[in-house]
Structure 1
Amino acid sequence: MFKFLKKIKDFIYEDIWRIRLKTLPRNKSTFLRCFKVFILAVKGYINDKCELWASALTFYSLLSLVPVCAMLFGIAKGFGYDEKLKILLYERFAGQEEVLNRIVAFAESFLENAKGGVIAGFGVILLFWTVIQIFGNIESSFNSIWGIKKSRSISRKITDYLSLTLICPVLIIISSSATVFVSAQLKSIGGMLAYQELLGPVIVYTVRLLPIIVIWVLFTFIYSFMPNTKVRFYSALTAGIIAGSTYQFLQEFYVFVQIALSSYNAIYGSFSALPLFLVWLRLSWLIVLFGAEISFAVQNVENTEYEPDCLRLSLSYKKLIALRICHYIVKRFCAIKRAPSDMEIVDALDIPIRLVRELLFTLVKGGVLSEVVFPDDTASGYQPALDIDKFSIVRVLDAMDSGELGRLPTREDESFKNIVDTFSRFREELEKSPANVLLKDIA
C-alpha cells in the first residue's frame, strides 16, 4: 500500500513532468495537459505562498478601501455618474449593504473634508499614493506567481495604475448600462416572436449569464494586465472564466450564509456584517490568486517539463545553460534581429520558463545582458550589454559568480592570502586560455 502511494507521489511530483506532450497523440496530450495544469496550479498555490499573499492583500484592501472608493466616486461625480455607481455597487455586492453603507459614508466624508487649499492637495496625494500602493501589491503577488523578479518602474506604475483608476468607474457604469440595455432588448424580442415558448428559456438564461460574462471579462483583464510580462489572451481567458465563475458562486454563497447566520446580530449588533465581510474579502483574494496560478500554468505547461529536475541542477550545469542563452542572444544580435523575450528564448531553446527567468535576472545583474522595453509590447527583450568582441565564456561565468557582496569579514591569515593570489592567477590564466573563445565565434 505504501509503495503504491509512493508511486503516485513520485508520478505527480516528478515522473509526469518528464513526459513530453509533443510526443503523445492528441487525445492523450489534451488530457495530460489539463491534468498538468491542475497540478501545476495547486503546487504553485502552495509554493508561492498564496495564502500569505491573500492575507496581505486583504489587509491592504481594508486600508485602501475608503480612499479608493472616494477616488472612484470623485471621478464618477465629475461625469455625473456618482448615483449610478452607488446603485451598481449595491447590486454587485448584494448582501453586504451594511458594510457598503459605512464605506460610502466614509468615502463621501473623505471627499467633503478634502476641499480647499493645502488639505485638498494632501488629500489628492494620499488618494494617488493609496491607489499606487494597492495595485503595486497586487502586481507583486502576480509577479511572484509568474517568477518575475522586476516590477514596473515608478513612472509606469503611475501612468498604468492611475489610468486604470480613472477609466474603471466609467467602464463599470458603461458595462452595467450595456447589460441592462441588452437584457431589455432580448426580452422585447422574445415577446415579439411567435416562438416565445421556445425562445423564452433561452432568453432568460442569456439574461442571467450577462452579469457573469461581465465578471469573466473583468477577471480576464486583470490576469492579462497585472503581471509585468506578456500574458497570452487564451491563458488569461481560461483563468478568467474559472476564477470568475468561482467568484460568482462565492458571492451567492455569501448571501446565503449571511441570511443563515443572522443570529450574529445579537452578538455584534451593527457590526454583524464585518466578520463575514473579512472572510469574503480573503476568500475573494484566494480565488483571484489561484486564477493567476491557472493562467501561468495554462501558458507555461509545456515549458515546465523537467522543472522539478531544474531545482536540483548543479551550479556548473546552470552555467552551461547560461552560456547557451547568451550564445542565442549574441547570435540574434549579430544577425541584426529583434532582442528576444524570455518566452522566445523558452520556445527556441526548450528550457523551463522559471530557469530562464532566474538566469536572465542573474545575467542582467552581472552586467553581460541588458533588458530592453519595446514601446509596442509589454514583454521585455534581452541583448548583449557589452561589446560582442569582448563577450567571452569567462565573462558569462564571472556574471554567474557575481553577487550582492564581494566578500565577508573572515580571518584573512597568510594561508587565505595565498589562496586568493593563487585563485586570481588561475582566473587570469583562464581568461588567457585559447578555450576562452568569443560566443559569436561558436557555431
Structure 2
Amino acid sequence: MNITKKLKDIYTFLMVDIWSIGKGDVSKMRFLFYSILKKLLLAIEFTTTKRITSAAAALTYSTLLAIVPIFAVVFGIARGFGYNKYIEEWFRESFSSQPQVSEIIIGFVNSYLVHTKSGLFLGIGLLFMLFTVIMLISNIERTFNDIWQAKKPRSMFRTITDYTSMLLLMPVVIVITSGISIFFATIFKQIEDTMVIGSLAQFFLQLLPYVLMSGVFIALYLFMPNTKVKLSCALVPGILAGVAMQGLQLFYIHSQIWVSSYNAIYGSFAALPLFMLWIQISWLICLFGAELCYANQNMDDYAFKAKTEDLSHRYKMLLCLVLASRICRNFSEGAKPLSALKLKLATGIPIRIVNDLLYQLVQINILTEIPGGDKDGESLYQPAECITRLSVGTLIDRMEAQGKWSLTIDVKQLSSIAWKKIIAERNTYLNSQREVLLKDL
C-alpha cells in the first residue's frame, strides 16, 4: 500500500508539481536538476505523442533509397583523391556492426560507378541520385520543422542552395574526416609502445569516433531546422545522440549470438531487416535528440503543457488581440518590430502559443513577417496594413472567416425573419468593434 502511494506521489510530482517550481522555491542545484528532468520528460513526451516512430520509419525508407547514390558520390570523390582504398576501410569500420550490409553496399556502389560510364545510364543515374538525395534531405527537414514548430519551409532559392551545398560538401567532409582518422591512427600506431603517451593516444583514438559522431549530430540539429537554433542548446543533445549511436554500434557488434540465430532462420536475407532495424533505431536516436534540443532551447515551465488547439475560441481570440495590439502600438510609437521571444516576455504568453498565433495572424494578413530580421536571425513582426485600418472588428472577422467552405447548404433556409435578425445583429456587432483600433487597446 505504501509502495503504491509512493509511486502515485512520484507520478503526481512528475506530471504536475515539478512544473510549478520556480527558482526561488528550491536551491540552485536542485532547480538545475529539476530543469534537466523536465527537459527529459518533455523530450520523452514529444517523442511518444508526435508519432516520431512513424517519422523514423519514413526516413528509414528514404535512407535505403538514397544510401547507394550518396556513397557512390563519396567513393567517386575519394577515388579522385586517391583515397579509394582507405574510404572502403573506413566504410567497413563504420558499418562494423553490419558486415554483410557493408559488403553488399560496396558491391552496389562499385557497380553503380562502373555503369555510369555509359552516357544514357549516367543521365538517368544522376537524376535518380538527385531525386533520392533531395527526397531524403527534404523529409529530414520536414520532420525537424515539425519538431521545432517551424511553420514555413525554406524558400525555393534557399532549398536549392542549401541542398546543393549539403550534397557537395557531405562527401568532401566524409573523405576529410576519414583521412584525419587514418592519419591519427597511423601516428598513434608508431608511438603505441610508449608507456604514457601510447595509452593516452589509444584513449584519444577510441574517443575520436564519439567526437566525430557527436559533431555530425550537432551540425544536423543546428542547420537542418528552418529556424534559429542556439549552439549551446544543441551541444548536449548532439553529444548524447553521438554517444548513443556509438553505443548502438557496440550493441550490434557484441550481439552476434542473437544475429547468428537470426541468420539461421532467414539466411542471407537476414541482412536487410537487421540493417533496416539499425537505421530506424538510429533515426529514433537522432529525432529524440532533436526533441531534447527543442526542449532545451524553449524550456518555459508550463509552456509546453499548453497547446493552442486546446484553447477555447474565445481565449484564442483574446490572445490574438493582445499580440496584435502590442505590435500595432509598438509600430505607432516608431519602435523596432518585435520578435516572438520579445512578445512572449512582454505578454507572458507561452512561446509555443505565441508562435502559433503569430502564424495565424500572418495568414489572415493582420501581421507581416520579416524573416531573419533580428540580429539573432529570428523573424520580426509588424502590421500588414495601415494601423488606422486595423481594428478589433477586422481581426475578429478575419479570424472567424479563416478556412474554407467545404459544404454546400441551401441558403434559402437562412432567409427567415429570425435568421435576418441574427445576421443584422452580427453586422452591428462587427461594425461597433471596427471603431476600436488595435493600436488603442
Note whether the superposition's TM-score is higher than 0.5: yes
Pick the aligned partner of 1:50 from 49, 52, 61: 52
More displaced, 278-287 or 106-115? Answer: 106-115
Equivalences for residues 16-415 of structure 1 within 5 A: 16-21=18-23, 24-182=26-184, 196-197=195-196, 200-258=198-256, 260-302=258-300, 304-305=302-303, 307-308=305-306, 312-374=310-372, 379-406=378-405, 408-415=407-414
* Counterparts of 1:186 and 1:351, CA distance in 2: 55
Are 1:439 and 2:438 an aligned pair? Answer: yes
More displaced, 414-423 or 33-42? Answer: 414-423
Instruction: Kindly indicate whether the alpha-carbon contact (under 8 Å) linking 2:42 and 2:295 is maintained by their aligned counterparts in 1.
Output: yes
Which one-letter code corresponds to 1:220 in the other structure? I
After TM superposition, where is structure 1 displaced by more than 6 Å over at least 4 residues in a row? 186-192
* Counterparts of 2:115 and 2:249, CA distance in 1: 33
* Counterparts of 2:229 and 2:123, CA distance in 1: 37
User: How big is each residue's C-alpha offset from its partner over 1:296-332, in whole Å with a ceiling of 9 and x where there is no partner?
Assistant: 1111122643724766432211111112222233344
Instruction: Kindly indicate whether the alpha-carbon contact (under 8 Å) linking 2:307 and 2:353 is maintained by their aligned counterparts in 1.
Output: no
Residues 1:191 and 1:102: Cα distance change in structure 2 (over 3 Å): closer
CA RMSD of aligned residues (A): 3.0
Q: CA deviation at 1:255?
A: 1.1
- Structure 2 runs not aligned, ≥5 long: none
Which one-letter code corresponds to 1:396 in the other structure? L
Q: CA deviation at 1:62?
A: 1.5
Q: CA deviation at 1:405?
A: 0.9
Q: CA deviation at 1:337?
A: 4.9
Greater RCO (CA < 8 Å, at least 6 residues apart): 1
Q: CA deviation at 1:281?
A: 1.1
Q: CA deviation at 1:86?
A: 2.6
* Counterparts of 1:258 and 1:419, CA distance in 2: 77
Q: CA deviation at 1:411?
A: 4.0
* Counterparts of 1:303 and 1:153, CA distance in 2: 33
More displaced, 292-301 or 94-103? Answer: 94-103
Residues 1:63 and 1:309: Cα distance change in structure 2 (over 3 Å): closer
* Counterparts of 2:95 and 2:112, CA distance in 1: 22
* Counterparts of 1:322 and 1:22, CA distance in 2: 32
* Counterparts of 1:308 and 1:7, CA distance in 2: 23
Which one-letter code corresponds to 1:173 in the other structure? V
User: How big is each residue's C-alpha offset from its partner over 1:266-320, in whole Å with a ceiling of 9 and x where there is no partner?
Assistant: 4333333223212211111111111111101111122643724766432211111
- 3-state SS of the aligned residue for 1:35? helix
* Counterparts of 1:400 and 1:281, CA distance in 2: 44
Which one-letter code corresponds to 2:385 in the other structure? L
More displaced, 89-98 or 339-348? Answer: 339-348
Q: CA deviation at 1:189?
A: 7.5
Which one-letter code corresponds to 2:387 in the other structure? I
Q: CA deviation at 1:421?
A: 4.3
* Counterparts of 1:424 and 1:114, CA distance in 2: 69
* Counterparts of 2:114 and 2:329, CA distance in 1: 61
Instruction: Kindly indicate whether the alpha-carbon contact (under 8 Å) linking 1:37 and 1:298 is maintained by their aligned counterparts in 2.
Output: yes
Instruction: Kindly indicate whether the alpha-carbon contact (under 8 Å) linking 2:74 and 2:172 is maintained by their aligned counterparts in 1.
Output: no
Residues 1:115 and 1:204: Cα distance change in structure 2 (over 3 Å): closer
More displaced, 76-85 or 217-226? Answer: 76-85
Which one-letter code corresponds to 1:92 in the other structure? S
Which one-letter code corresponds to 2:273 in the other structure? P
Instruction: Kindly indicate whether the alpha-carbon contact (under 8 Å) linking 1:303 and 1:351 is maintained by their aligned counterparts in 2.
Output: no
More displaced, 145-154 or 229-238? Answer: 145-154
* Counterparts of 1:188 and 1:332, CA distance in 2: 67
User: How big is each residue's C-alpha offset from its partner over 1:2-27, in whole Å with a ceiling of 9 and x where there is no partner?
Assistant: 66655544433334333344765422
* Counterparts of 1:397 and 1:314, CA distance in 2: 14
Q: CA deviation at 1:385?
A: 1.7
* Counterparts of 1:82 and 1:419, CA distance in 2: 82
More displaced, 394-403 or 92-101? Answer: 394-403
Identity between Structure 1 and Structure 2 (%): 38
* Counterparts of 2:222 and 2:245, CA distance in 1: 18
- 3-state SS of the aligned residue for 2:114? helix
Which one-letter code corresponds to 2:45 in the other structure? K
* Counterparts of 1:309 and 1:373, CA distance in 2: 24
* Counterparts of 1:188 and 1:77, CA distance in 2: 27
Which one-letter code corresponds to 2:243 in the other structure? S
More displaced, 137-146 or 149-158? Answer: 149-158
Which one-letter code corresponds to 1:32 in the other structure? Y
Instruction: Kindly indicate whether the alpha-carbon contact (under 8 Å) linking 1:331 and 1:440 is maintained by their aligned counterparts in 2.
Output: yes
Which one-letter code corresponds to 1:314 in the other structure? S
* Counterparts of 2:380 and 2:315, CA distance in 1: 24
* Counterparts of 1:278 and 1:243, CA distance in 2: 19
- 3-state SS of the aligned residue for 2:254? helix
Residues 1:293 and 1:205: Cα distance change in structure 2 (over 3 Å): same
Instruction: Kindly indicate whether the alpha-carbon contact (under 8 Å) linking 1:394 and 1:431 is maintained by their aligned counterparts in 2.
Output: yes
